[in-house]
Copies of this chain bind each other. A is one copy, B any other.
Amino acid sequence: MRVAIQGERGSFHDEAARQWYGEHIEIVECDSFPEVFAAVKSGAAEKAVAAMENSLYGSINQVYDLVEEYGYPIVGEVHLSVHQQLIAVPGHEITTIYSHPVALAQCETFLDEQYPFAGRVEVPDTAGAVRQISESREPGAAAIASAYAASLYDMPIIARDIENNPANFTRFLVLDPNGTVPEDADRATLVVTTKNDPGSLARVLLVFADMGINLSKLQSRPIVGRPWHYRFYLVVDCAGERLHRALEGIEPLTTEVKVLGEYVFNP
């Protein structure tokens, strides 16, 4: 099975894909999220795994836009604790640290304390940073990436779990153009556009609350082309018949409701 990800082997996307589909998948490396979806469309990959939220930078709106554009159903969510490792070419003092900008930001406290004078260089991918220093053997070069990337390129970890916030995590969507709704689905991701009336969102949420349905995520999003008119992304802990009853309940309060996927949250 070929799974398209942003980034390369050894990245957190790779880890998320393996966590969902197992070790024996073939990773299709892509430079950007639009390329990930295009790879599935062209048949270069059968499935896709794409980050949609991390605890430092929040939601990745672009991924939601692509899910809507391509219409591939969400078939699962992977939550990954993100632990960053300092990985270095042995035998030199560290003078330059390569990593993805988010990873550099996540480790800022540690870097400022331990390596205040080392240069920081932004590169597109954490795993790519490890590959690069493992190939170049540049004296003084280090990378910030996962333990998995260190082992993949057989490079030593100099300092472990150097992220500022140990509760760091990233949330990924699993997308499958041939996905169907499993019988035991218990979660759904929705895009809801409420009527332009101050009470309609509150009343939408009351419909879910009155049915005892928990919300796992709620985020307003400006409507493209109409800044500051909002749509809402909702992740609800229900699916199937119960979800459809709730959607009937909110119908009078909304102008559009799209179900982006119904799936099993903890399979």
Q: A-side interface residues toward B, CB under 8 Å?
A: 32-34, 55-62, 79, 101, 105, 108, 122-124, 165-167, 169, 198-199, 201-203, 205-206, 208-210, 212-222, 224-228, 230, 232
A208 to chain B, nearest CB (A): 7
Q: Which of B61, B108, B167 contacts A58 (CB 8 A)?
A: B61
What residues of B have a CB within 8 angstroms of the CB of A218 in the complex? 201, 218-220, 230, 232
What residues of B have a CB within 8 angstroms of the CB of A215 in the complex? 198, 201, 220
Q: Is the interface of A mostly helix, strand, loop or mixed?
A: mixed
Q: Are B224 and A34 in contact (CB under 8 A)?
A: no
| 12 additional A-B residue pairs with CB within 8 Å, beyond A203-B209, A205-B205, A218-B220 | A32-B105, A56-B61, A57-B60, A57-B62, A79-B227, A101-B124, A122-B122, A167-B226, A198-B214, A217-B230, A218-B232, A219-B219
Q: 22 pairs across A/B with beta carbons < 8 Å?
A: A32-B108, A33-B105, A55-B224, A56-B61, A56-B62, A57-B58, A57-B59, A57-B60, A57-B62, A58-B61, A58-B219, A101-B124, A165-B224, A166-B225, A167-B224, A169-B222, A198-B208, A198-B215, A202-B202, A206-B206, A217-B220, A218-B232
A101 to chain B, nearest CB (A): 7
Bound-state CA distance A215–B60 (Å) is 22
Q: Are B202 and A205 in contact (CB under 8 A)?
A: yes
What residues of B have a CB within 8 angstroms of the CB of A201 in the complex? 205, 209, 215, 218
What residues of B have a CB within 8 angstroms of the CB of A226 in the complex? 167
What residues of B have a CB within 8 angstroms of the CB of A101 in the complex? 101, 124
Residue of B nearest to A209 (CB): B199
Q: Are A167 and B227 in contact (CB under 8 A)?
A: yes
A202 to chain B, nearest CB (A): 4
Q: Are B167 and A225 in contact (CB under 8 A)?
A: yes
